[in-house]
Amino acid sequence: MTIRAFRWGIRSSTFISLFSLTLVIYNIDPEKAGNIGKILFYLSLFLFLSGIFILFLMWLRRKSGEEKMALVKVEMNFRQGILLALLVIVLLFLQNLKILVWWDGLLATAGIFLIELYFLSRRSDNI
């Protein structure tokens, strides 16, 4: 698969997840739907944010002059986009439970950062 095909696939799936997110927001009442409504909201938001973050990171790396390493960086963009979306979802979930304070946000950010450092150190060991 080429980078161009991958980008178009991510763009189309991001658009579809945006459509599903708007359907969930406008058609599901979280008070009546209960946990199923919240799960659908968080899942569609996670898919949308993952696509946005992946596309943003691809654009950022392309603009920084790393076009030659684009095939190598696709895996990194994908992983980092998913981790950033997971961080946003965790923070929103903690806010929904009304237990989000600044140190919980820092702990969640540090946890995501440590996961990324693990993947980066594992990759450098294999090279």
Q: What is the 3-state secondary structure (H, E, C) of the chain?
A: CCHHHHHHHHHHHHHHHHHHHHHHHHHCCHHHHCHHHHHHHHHHHHHHHHHHHHHHHHHHHHHCCCHHHHHHHHHHHHHHHHHHHHHHHHHHHHHHCCCCCHHHHHHHHHHHHHHHHHHHHHHHHHC
Q: Is the pTM of this model over 0.85?
A: yes
Low-confidence ranges of the chain (pLDDT < 70): 66-72, 123-127
Residue ranges per structural domain of the chain = 3-126
Q: What is the pLDDT of residue 124?
A: 63
